[in-house]
Structures are given as structure tokens and as C-alpha cells.
């Protein structure tokens, strides 16, 4: 795929709405409040038989300093440098503003092909704004309504000549083994999630800074490590539900939780100076409940004086608060200084492999026999519960079915005994392990 298109415009003209329309999914957060988008987001767009990469950007501001708006502008400049074609989006209902003219001049200097798109043209009130767009001197504007899907054929007509591959699409025949490992990077606000991803990929791909809550969207970034393809997903900081009252933060939080649901491995980033607060444990439990492999990344480790004491404190807290999930991989690092990043990626790939592990049925039943001999199941209704057979029914996470004579009577304590035994016997540490009890068939029962 050769064509890359970037969507640029001032705040609140509908860039993210058009992005979502083109990719066919609600990937970017959309709200009436200006300035929702901060980082640039990439996706695979489709218009008829034309497939291309589309980049959503933050609303352009006339800011050139080190402020948040200035850093957002630099992200847009990088997106423009990577693109083949730029879409300058305007709001036809509001008409052409001095800011639109300033950005048209800026885009003209870039030397990139520019397509003017006048959005919100679904009503007659937009006719004047559409005519005004001719004054930008960038050719005839394309009238669309990103929200209602109007004008997409016209947009296809102006984009198609830039496609070098004649509409050749993506190869959808790739095997599951070739699919990237999806790694979601989660944690409380301002623990260094975006800084960590920038350090891993070796460029300032994501917006960072001292302000808490900079990241709003869950942004996916492709990355290759040791010939393995990963998709790194940066997420907004997760605070306690009771503290989340702003509508936009609620949208960001929901986006982060969806990122966990669709991830395969989750890296929970902790601040080494403030480890395993209640919210950290809440996030960890959510990851476990979703059945995702978990790796703990302790960031800002370079700021810790007594590291032995800090390690012991972390281990004790995990043992007390998450006893059912022993063996979670813990990696101490410094994203700002680039320390121990390889160790983190190695731990992620190892956790992914364990998450996909399959245990042979013969070995599994040998293990079950040893477990029941060492610690027999309890007695129920005058008879000892019998565990007859075990098999692995799925991976991702490892899930097992155990056939029992009275499955509903087996206590939770014995289930924990089996889960811990599975972890130790088959090296399933650091990943959720699930056991489903099923009632074995009685061969002497009447079949009538």
C-alpha cells in the first residue's frame, strides 16, 4: 500500500468523524468539545476499491512554543511529512476563517498535493461556506458530510488518481501466526505510558509532557522486535470511577478499557515512587478478569534510592492483594533513560507464548492423578468427589475442562489448589488459568 492521506484542519471541523467514516470503525474519539484529538492516529481506509492509510491529526493551532498546543502542532507536522496527500478540512457552516487561510498558506509551502474538503454540507446553510472555500486557491472543494456519509463518491474521485497501485487491496489471506502481538500499555495518569512507547520505537511518535492526562485516544503503533511484529497500544490514564466526572474523560476511559479487552498482553505501568495503589490493583484485576496476559512495568526506577526495599515492598503487596495470580512478570525500567526496555519486550513475548500454551491431554491426566492422590477431593453426600478426566479446551488464556462426579460440590479452595498445581506443573505463571468443571457421564444411567 503506497498512498498515505493526512487529514488536517482547525479544531472541531470534523476530522475524527471523517477518519472514523473512512476506516469503517469508531476508532477516534468524537465530541462537540474542540480539541478532543491530541495524538495522530493511523488507520486503513477504504473508499470503493481504493485502500490507503489515513492519518487523523489534532486541530491546528498557531502555537510554536513548548506548550501542549505547540507539541500537538509538531505531531501534525510529522504526520504531514509522512503523507502523500493532505486533506484540508473546513467547516462549511462556519465558513472560511482567518485560521483556515493561514493553514492553507502553510500547507501550500509543504509542496504536498492538497485537497480541500468542506464538511457539514448536509444542509442548505452550508452553501455559502462551500463557495467561500474556493477563495483558498487550492482548487474546487469537495462537499461532504462526514457524519452522514454524503460526498464519499466525490472524495474517492479526487483521491483515486494519487493511488499508484490501482486500488489493489490488503492481502487478507495472512495466517494467524503472522498477526502482530497486540500489547496494551495501561496505568494511572502520568506514570509514563506514552514516554515508554516512544522509547521502545525510538521516536517521538506520541505526545508527552509533564501535564497529566495528555493521552485521550487509544493509539496503536506498529513495531518489530526480534523478528516479531507487535502493535503497541497507548491508552489514556485510568483513574477511579468515582473521580471521573468529565464527559470526555469518560470517553477516554471507555476507550482504554476496550483496548484491554482487545489486547493479548497488557503492560501495567507503575510509578516506582508510588507503586501498587488501589487503582493499580483494580486495573490488574480487570486485566485478569478479561483473561489477558499481564506484565508489570515499574517505570522511573532510576529515581529509587533503596531498590532492594522497593522490590520487596512490591512483591509483598502483590502476594497480599493478588494471591490467586502468582508469578506475574515484573520488569523495572526507566523509559526516560531507555533502561531495561529489552527486558520488558522479552517478558511480553514470553507472556504471550505462555498465554498460547497447549498442554497434551496425556500429561494433563497424569498430573490430575498425582494431584488427587496427594490431596484427595472432599466427601460430598457420603461419597468422595471423583475427578475422572481433564482436557484443555482452548488457549488464550489456557482453559481446561475437568470432569467430576459432583462438580457443583467441589469447594473453591480445591479449585485454587488445582489452578496453582497447573501453574507449577506446566509453567503457566503470569497468565490467567481457567478451569471449568463438568459432570461426567454415568455409563450405567438409563438412556431412555
At 309 the pLDDT is 92
At 447 the pLDDT is 53
What's the CA gap between 60 and 311, in Å, rounded?
Answer: 44
For residue range 9-52, list pLDDT tens digits in order.
Answer: 888 888 889 998 998 877 655 555 555 565 678 888 988 889 99
- Looking at the fold, whether 372 and 335 belong to one and the same domain comes out as no
Residue 170 inside a domain? The answer is: no
Name the band, by pLDDT with cuts 50, 70 and 90, for residue 167: very low
- Looking at the fold, whether 303 and 383 belong to one and the same domain comes out as no
- Looking at the fold, whether 332 and 407 belong to one and the same domain comes out as no
CB 36 within 8 A of CB 30: yes
What's the CA gap between 344 and 332, in Å, rounded?
Answer: 8
End residue of a domain, out of 106, 135, 162: 162
At 287 the pLDDT is 92
Strand partners, 230: 181, 223
At 216 the pLDDT is 57
Residue 19 inside a domain? The answer is: yes
Strand partners, 118: 90, 143
- Looking at the fold, whether 205 and 63 belong to one and the same domain comes out as no
- Looking at the fold, whether 137 and 185 belong to one and the same domain comes out as no
Residue 447 inside a domain? The answer is: no
At 245 the pLDDT is 64
Q: Which helix (H) or strand (E) holds 19?
A: helix 15-23
Name the band, by pLDDT with cuts 50, 70 and 90, for residue 228: very high
Residue 446 inside a domain? The answer is: no
At 169 the pLDDT is 40
Could you give the angle at the alpha carbon of 322 between the alpha carbons of 318 and 325, nearest 5°? 105
Cell of 248: 470526555
Residue 167 inside a domain? The answer is: no
- Looking at the fold, whether 207 and 260 belong to one and the same domain comes out as yes
At 293 the pLDDT is 93
For residue range 41-72, list pLDDT tens digits in order.
Answer: 888 898 888 999 998 887 666 656 566 666 67
- Looking at the fold, whether 253 and 289 belong to one and the same domain comes out as yes
Q: Which is more confident, 419 or 324?
A: 419
Could you give the angle at the alpha carbon of 164 between the alpha carbons of 60 and 54, nearest 5°? 30
Cell of 304: 529509587
- Looking at the fold, whether 412 and 347 belong to one and the same domain comes out as no
Residue 448 inside a domain? The answer is: no
- Looking at the fold, whether 56 and 198 belong to one and the same domain comes out as no
Q: Which is more confident, 28 or 343?
A: 343
End residue of a domain, out of 322, 355, 388: 355
The mean predicted confidence, pLDDT, of the chain is 84
Q: Which is more confident, 242 or 348?
A: 348
At 171 the pLDDT is 41
- Looking at the fold, whether 106 and 220 belong to one and the same domain comes out as no
CB 38 within 8 A of CB 118: no
Residue 397 sits in which domain range?
A: 361-439
At 212 the pLDDT is 55
Domains of the chain: total? 3
Query: What is the CATH number for 196?
Result: 3.40.50.300
Rounded to an integer, the average pLDDT of 118-128 is 88
Residue 444 inside a domain? The answer is: no
End residue of a domain, out of 138, 162, 186: 162
- Looking at the fold, whether 379 and 291 belong to one and the same domain comes out as no
For residue range 427-442, list pLDDT tens digits in order.
Answer: 998 789 999 999 866 5
- Looking at the fold, whether 198 and 158 belong to one and the same domain comes out as no
Residue 282 inside a domain? The answer is: yes
Q: For residue 278, is pLDDT > 50?
A: yes
Would the pTM count as exceeding 0.85? no
Amino acid at each position: 500500500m503506497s498512498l498515505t492521506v493526512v487529514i488536517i484542519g482547525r479544531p472541531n471541523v470534523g476530522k475524527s468523524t471523517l477518519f472514523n467514516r473512512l476506516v469503517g470503525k469508531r476508532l477516534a474519539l468524537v465530541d462537540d468539545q474542540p480539541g478532543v484529538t491530541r495524538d495522530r492516529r493511523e488507520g486503513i481506509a477504504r473508499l470503493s476499491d481504493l485502500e490507503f492509510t489515513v492519518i487523523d491529526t489534532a486541530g491546528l493551532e498557531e502555537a510554536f512554543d513548548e506548550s501542549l498546543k505547540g507539541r500537538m502542532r509538531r505531531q501534525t507536522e510529522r504526520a504531514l511529512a509522512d503523507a502523500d496527500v493532505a486533506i484540508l478540512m473546513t467547516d462549511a457552516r462556519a465558513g472560511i476563517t482567518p485560521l483556515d487561510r493561514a493553514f492553507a498558506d502553510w500547507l501550500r509551502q509543504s509542496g504536498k498535493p492538497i485537497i480541500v474538503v468542506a464538511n457539514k454540507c448536509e444542509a442548505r446553510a452550508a452553501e455559502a461556506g462551500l463557495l467561500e472555500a474556493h477563495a483558498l486557491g487550492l482548487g474546487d472543494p469537495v462537499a461532504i458530510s462526514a457524519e452522514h456519509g454524503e460526498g464519499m463518491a466525490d472524495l474517492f474521485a479526487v483521491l483515486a488518481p494519487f493511488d499508484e497501485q490501482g486500488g489493489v487491496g490488503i492481502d487478507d489471506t495472512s495466517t494467524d501466526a503472522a498477526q502482530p502481538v497486540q500489547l496494551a500499555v495501561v496505568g494511572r495518569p502520568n506514570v509514563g505510558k506514552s514516554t515508554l512507547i516512544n522509547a521502545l520505537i525510538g521516536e517521538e511518535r506520541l505526545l508527552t509532557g509533564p501535564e497529566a492526562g495528555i493521552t485521550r485516544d487509544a493509539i496503536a503503533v506498529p513495531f518489530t522486535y526480534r523478528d516479531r511484529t507487535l502493535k503497541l497500544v497507548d491508552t489514556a490514564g485510568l483513574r477511579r470511577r468515582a473521580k471521573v466526572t468529565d464527559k470526555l474523560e469518560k470517553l477516554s476511559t471507555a476507550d482504554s478499557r476496550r483496548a484491554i479487552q482487545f489486547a493479548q498482553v497488557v503492560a501495567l505501568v507503575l510509578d516506582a515512587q508510588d507503586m501498587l495503589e488501589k487503582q493499580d490493583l483494580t486495573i490488574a484485576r480487570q486485566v485478569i478478569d478479561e483473561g489477558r496476559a499481564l506484565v508489570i512495568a515499574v517505570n522511573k526506577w532510576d529515581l529509587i534510592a533503596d531498590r532492594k526495599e522497593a522490590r520487596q515492598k512490591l512483591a509483598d503487596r502483590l502476594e497480599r492483594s493478588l494471591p490467586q495470580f502468582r508469578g506475574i512478570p515484573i520488569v523495572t525500567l526507566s523509559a526516560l533513560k531507555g533502561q531495561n526496555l529489552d527486558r520488558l519486550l522479552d517478558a511480553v513475548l514470553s507472556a504471550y507464548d505462555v498465554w498460547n500454551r497447549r498442554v497434551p491431554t496425556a500429561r494433563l491426566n497424569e498430573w490430575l492423578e498425582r494431584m488427587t492422590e496427594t490431596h484427595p477431593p472432599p466427601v460430598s453426600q457420603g461419597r468422595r468427589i471423583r475427578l475422572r478426566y481433564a482436557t484443555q479446551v482452548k488457549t488464550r488464556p489456557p482453559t481446561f475442562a475437568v470432569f467430576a462426579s459432583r462438580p457443583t460440590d467441589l469447594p473453591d479452595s480445591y479449585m485454587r489448589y488445582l489452578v496453582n498445581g497447573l501453574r507449577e506443573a506446566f509453567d503457566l505463571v503470569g497468565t490467567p488459568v481457567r478451569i471449568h468443571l463438568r459432570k461426567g457421564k454415568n455409563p450405567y444411567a438409563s438412556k431412555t
